[in-house]
Amino acid sequence: MTAKERTYLGVPVKKPRAAFFEFTSCEGCQLQLLNNEASLVDFLSLLTIVNFREAMTEQSDEYDIAFIEGSITRDDEAEQLKIIRSRAQTLVAMGSCACFGGVNQLKNRFNDLAWVKEQVYGSQAIDTREVLPLSAIVPVDLEIYGCPIKKEEVEKVVTNLVLGKSIDYPRYPVCMECKANHNVCLFDLGQPCLGPITRAGCDAWCPANRLGCWGCRGPAEKPNVGQLRQIMHEHGFTDEQLLDRLECFGGFAQYVTELKRTAKG
């Protein structure tokens, strides 16, 4: 598509060729890109989109930035990911599935692929493997967190990428953003919440809607999981309820192992 030349501080800005790909996922993160109707045309003019199978038929193997949604659950996906890596200068993991395995990795917790297959497909042969994030197969340059990704954050990240500016995520937890927004604490409303330990940047999207955080963006810097566990117990929640949330998206994998070792019913 054509658009007038963009400038930043009077300097012409190049329009990178961008490609979008998806592996095992709901494709919701790509749809989020189409879901911000007000700024969609502006956003599209930042990039030359050469691959977006969900919205366009044209395709190209020449691109600068690859945006990838989804986790890796089959060998052919791993091979395809390596090919994309070899072609892209910048590889962006988009959403919790790409960053951590996402809800898909919940099947890994059984440590029994044969049972998992049997539950869904009975005796029919089906090809699947342990769910992996992109970074387990290839180097990832940039991660955009969230289930789903937040369009405003993607726009900021993409603008900075195009301008060559560095991209910095908050190190503090969602709890900070929630307090800044004057939301009623979810614990005071009788709901469990991972806000105290989850990486901020979503503007406390779920707590603002009175849903406790499920940790889709992974851990904040030095998360105090032990303290949160104590808070959960004080408010009458079980280790099982904490575990449900900690293990949901894969970002807290190392803390899940520890909790499972010491969990009480």
- Residues within the interface to other proteins (CB under 8 A): 1-2, 23-32, 34-35, 37-38, 40-41, 44, 49, 52-59, 73-74, 77, 102-104, 106-107, 110, 115-117, 119-122, 124, 126, 128, 147-148, 205-206, 209-211, 214, 240-241, 244, 248
Give min distance, CB of 191 to other proteins, in A: 8
Cα separation, 71 vs 93, in Å, equals 9
Closest CA to 133 of 115, 150, 147, 154: 147
Cβ 117 to other proteins shortest distance, Å? 8
Whose CA is closest to 253, among 115, 109, 78? 109
Nearer to other proteins, 90 or 128 (CB): 128
Burial class (CB in 10 A: 0-12, 13-18, 19+), 169: middle
Considering beta carbons, is residue 186 or 225 the nearer one to other proteins? 186
Residue 165 CB, nearest approach to other proteins (Å): 27
Write down the least CB distance from residue 181 to other proteins, Å: 14
Q: Given the complex with other proteins, which of 119 and 181 has the nearer CB atom?
A: 119
Nearest Cα residue to 225 out of 178, 261, 265, 183:
261
Q: Please identify, using beta-carbon distances, which residue of 164 and 236 lies nearer to other proteins.
A: 236
Nearest Cα neighbor of 16 from 167, 139, 142, 158 is 158
Complex with other proteins: residue 26 or 167, whichever CB lies closer = 26
User: Would you list the DSSP string of 184-244?
Assistant: PPTTTTT----TTTBB--S-STTGGGT-----TT-B-SS--HHHHHHHHHHTT--HHHHHH
In angstroms, give the least distance from the CB of 57 to other proteins: 4
Residue whose CB is less far from other proteins, 165 or 260: 260
User: Which stretches within 93-191 are classed as H helix?
Assistant: 96-100, 113-121, 151-163, 174-180
Residue in the block written with tokens 């979810």: 186
The minimum distance between CB 162 and other proteins, in angstroms, equals 18
Q: How long a stretch of residues is the chain?
A: 265
Residue whose CB is less far from other proteins, 57 or 166: 57
The minimum distance between CB 244 and other proteins, in angstroms, equals 6
DSSP label at residue 147: T
- Residue whose pair of structure tokens reads 């969230």 in the numeric block: 146
